Structure 1
Amino acid sequence: MGSEVVIFYQHYEDEEDSTLKYPTILSDNKMAASKGAGMLRNCFAKLCKSRHLELFQGSYTGKLSRDLSSIAPEAEPAPPLSIFRTTESDPAKHNQMHLGMYYTVPPEEFAVVFPQIRPNLYAQQVETFNEACIMIREPGLEIIGYLSSANYSLPATRYLIYGKKGSGKSITLNHVVHYCATQGWLTVHVPDAHLWVKNCRDMLPSTYRQGRYDQPTQAVNWLRKFRISNEKFLKEMKTQKAYTWTKSEFTEEGTFLLDVLEKVRPRSLLQGIARPRVASDIVGMLFKELKQHSLAKNVRMLVAVDGANSLWGRSVLKKEDKSLIMTEELTLIWNLRKLIRSDWSNGAIVLESSQTGSVFRRALEYLPTPLLGQEGFDAVDPFVPINVRNYSEKEFESCYMYYLERKWLQHEHVKTEAGKQELKFLCNKNPATMEKLSAFL
């Protein structure tokens, strides 16, 4: 039999001294006891400094300070752990253990992957907190799991993100875009397709197809953002056919795509007029070339469209006779519709249907069929539905603690348990509503 070591505590109470003495070690093997005494004292010191100290406070409150200082040197307190954060910033390594936690996108990656930040509430949060954090949620992990195990020799699979207003659909899409960017994919990201069907004042009749309308400003802005995110790919890919833009301008076969995008950069006044006039046609050419390069396995491509339901139905833009323009009459929308067809491989298509910014749709509608309409539903079918719900209990706690850490919640009442429960009741654990309410607290 091995040596049995027994520990007991000698406790003395008198008027002059009332302390907890060191552990007394009893053993039937004195040699083993002498060797284990130092180790046991160290374990005892660590135990007293841990959270288990609370178990002894009922009998020995205020009795241990002098003895602990003599048992082991005082160590610096460890910094508090942020249980709502993870240091893992690589989306490919996120798993179920990270659910409900925030991860920080490195600033150098964020500037390249997200040159245009959407939604607006998230953009304001990034600017205010001076960091870009994304919560790891089940819908994002589900899509990433599908992408990591998909067969890319088959036609591109469509995934449709849907959910109630403000539930975090756009942030889920951002999580997927970040994953694909870190995996070396070319990302065709349209942060808000709703902007292409409203608030456009500089429409021009198309020079390529009669009956269509170009949107030079929207096309130029999107191409500039696309170039920032994918410049390393554009330097290597070439056009596979020749294109004619005007009677005096054309692009030869074998031209680098980056050189083609140079046409949409405004020239100085000394050189003449700016060239955004052909930007809408260049977007169509770019989509066509990217599909061909993806089919040839030169690059793996992600097409991510936020507000995809705006691609079908009516717009709020008007013709010269004041009649509304249909979405298929807009050059940008027409080309984007062709891009999300599953007639190419070596990539994926992730769409998000949203009520925010949608026109001619009731605010309470969030299911795919009402938002897309019959025409849009038939166009994206088949697809993998991804439902984004409001926060779970754990996700709400993480968001609440994150706002406290960033000092976004300042009111004294909201820092109490009753205040937290009141905030939960008012926002119903809806991410967007919680963010709006927190701005006043």
Structure 2
Amino acid sequence: MFIRQISRLPPKSIKLYSTSAEPAISTKIPKSSEVRTNEGNTSKHSSNNLGKYYQIPNEDKKILFSHGGLPKSFEKQAKTFGETCLMVRQPALEVIDYIKSSNLNKPTVRYVLYGDDGVGKSLTMAHIIHYGYQNGFLLLHAPWVANWYKRPKETANSTSMEGFIDLPFDAAGWLVHFKTQNAKLLPTLDLKTTKDYVWSKRETTPAGSTLLELIEHGIARIKFASDTIAALISELKQHATGGKCKIMVAMDGYNAFFHPITRVIADNKAKVHPSKVTLTQPFLDITNYDWCNGVCILSVDKLAASEGNRESYLPRYLLEKEGFEHLDPFVPIRVDNFNEKEFKSCIDYYLDRRWIQNNEPGFDQELKYLSASNPFRLMNICAPL
């Protein structure tokens, strides 16, 4: 009888109350200085900036994330707010501090971001990528590896490797992304190919050509885009090891390389294992430790895994035996839900943007319990209907 009476109550009469002594967030619109930091130089971000938002200039965003790297829901929110702001969080600061203190002349260190769904792994990576861009790293960025195996644009039999499958449009799209991100840096480095590349009887890229010429060839002749990526990555490893450049490798959903179930279909209608896709091996090679003057920022994600492999978000489970042994040793970086300070800062940012208008006393605690302080769930709860 009691349950029936409760179920008939109008929605506004049901409230969530906190049993703890946590103070409610002020209903006043916070000052901008309480929410934001004016420090746009990611090298200078420190513990003093934790929990505060910094703005990515539109020019930098266009260069870095025009072809992916920011979650679509976050992109939509940024467009609504008229600005792209990232919260300075501990995992990003931790990786940036490690990179600053690293000796890049030593073998490449691999950092693996991990955590549950919606905790902010992609945005943590975006913060680190912005740091790499501001500090002279060539960026080798795969925004979401799983797209190649779950949603390939087109497939074709490889002309250079028998039994392998090319993803020509995906490969050409990645080359455009690489060129866009590094358009300012590549001409100044003036990196050249170290050997001849023969594509067909009439098409070659001779030794001494610039890497930009190599990239342009792969974009113009998408039939050879996958092979161009393999050549480009091989050249980049050699140049970095020779001290001519430094490279930041960033791959979101890296564990997709090691899950056997894909939607890449061969001519005989059989599903193709990732190891038989020509894009796979070059990106595995660049995440090996047999080169220097670089860092690898990788994330593992349940959403990148095959169906039925989503019980745990831990790296050992998602990478499986092959992927774990490939990266071992690596530095695990856990990304978690908002802590108290971060949650308050996020709510204050929404208030600052006038995104939350119904800010009666206790509203913050209701949002906290409904979202469990998960950044993605909180963003969805506060989203428009």
Give the alignment's TM-score, normalised by structure 2.
0.88
Give distance in 2, aligned partners of 1:127 and 1:213: 37
Q: What residue identity is the alignment partner of 1:383?
A: F
Q: Is the 8 A contact 1:160 1:352 kept in 2?
A: yes
Q: What residue identity is the alignment partner of 1:332?
A: L
- Deviation, 1:316, is 2.3
Give distance in 1, aligned partners of 2:339 and 2:235: 43
Give distance in 1, aligned partners of 2:215 and 2:207: 15
Cα gap change, 1:225 to 1:291, in 2 (>3 Å):
same
Q: Is the 8 A contact 1:163 1:367 kept in 2?
A: yes
Equivalent in the alignment of 1:386: 333
Q: Which ranges of structure 2 fall in alignment gaps of 5 or more residues? A: 1-29
Give distance in 2, aligned partners of 1:104 and 1:364: 35
- Deviation, 1:193, is 0.5
Q: Is the 8 A contact 1:196 1:333 kept in 2?
A: no
Give the alignment's TM-score, normalised by structure 1.
0.77
Q: What residue identity is the alignment partner of 2:218?
A: V
Give distance in 2, aligned partners of 1:123 and 1:440: 15
Q: Deviations over 1:326-360 (max 9, x none)?
A: 00111111211111111100111111001224323
DSSP-derived class of the 1:100 partner: coil
Q: Is the 8 A contact 1:86 1:101 kept in 2?
A: yes
Give distance in 2, aligned partners of 1:219 and 1:145: 33
Deviates more, 1:317-326 or 1:221-230: 317-326
Of 76, 96, 104 in structure 2, the residue corresponding to residue 144 of structure 1 is 96
Q: What residue identity is the alignment partner of 1:312?
A: F
Of 74, 92, 102 in structure 2, the residue corresponding to residue 122 of structure 1 is 74
Q: Deviations over 1:401-424 (max 9, x none)?
A: 1112222224x2xx1232211111
Pair 1:185 & 2:134 matched: no
Give distance in 2, aligned partners of 1:244 and 1:233: 27
Q: Which ranges of structure 1 fall in alignment gaps of 5 or more residues? A: 1-78, 267-274
Counting only pairs closer than 5 Å after superposition, residues 76-225 of structure 1 correspond to structure 2 as 80-117=31-68, 118-225=70-177
Q: Is the 8 A contact 1:361 1:371 kept in 2?
A: no
- Deviation, 1:264, is 3.5
Equivalent in the alignment of 2:378: 434
Give distance in 2, aligned partners of 1:87 and 1:140: 18
Of 371, 374, 378 in structure 1, the residue corresponding to residue 321 of structure 2 is 374
DSSP-derived class of the 1:320 partner: coil
- Deviation, 1:159, is 0.5
Equivalent in the alignment of 1:421: 365
Pair 1:249 & 2:249 matched: no
Of 289, 304, 315 in structure 2, the residue corresponding to residue 342 of structure 1 is 289
Q: What residue identity is the alignment partner of 1:301?
A: I
- Deviation, 1:99, is 0.6
Q: What residue identity is the alignment partner of 1:424?
A: K
Equivalent in the alignment of 1:308: 254
Of 226, 230, 249 in structure 1, the residue corresponding to residue 178 of structure 2 is 226
Deviates more, 1:147-156 or 1:80-89: 80-89
Q: Is the 8 A contact 2:106 2:292 kept in 1?
A: yes
Of 188, 193, 202 in structure 2, the residue corresponding to residue 239 of structure 1 is 193
Cα RMSD (Å): 1.5
- Deviation, 1:201, is 4.3
Larger Rg: 1
Corresponding residue pairs, total: 352
- Deviation, 1:398, is 0.8
Of all paired residues, the percent bearing the same amino acid is 38
- Deviation, 1:81, is 4.2
- Deviation, 1:116, is 2.4
Q: Is the 8 A contact 2:155 2:265 kept in 1?
A: no
Give distance in 2, aligned partners of 1:313 and 1:381: 18
Q: Is the 8 A contact 1:316 1:359 kept in 2?
A: no
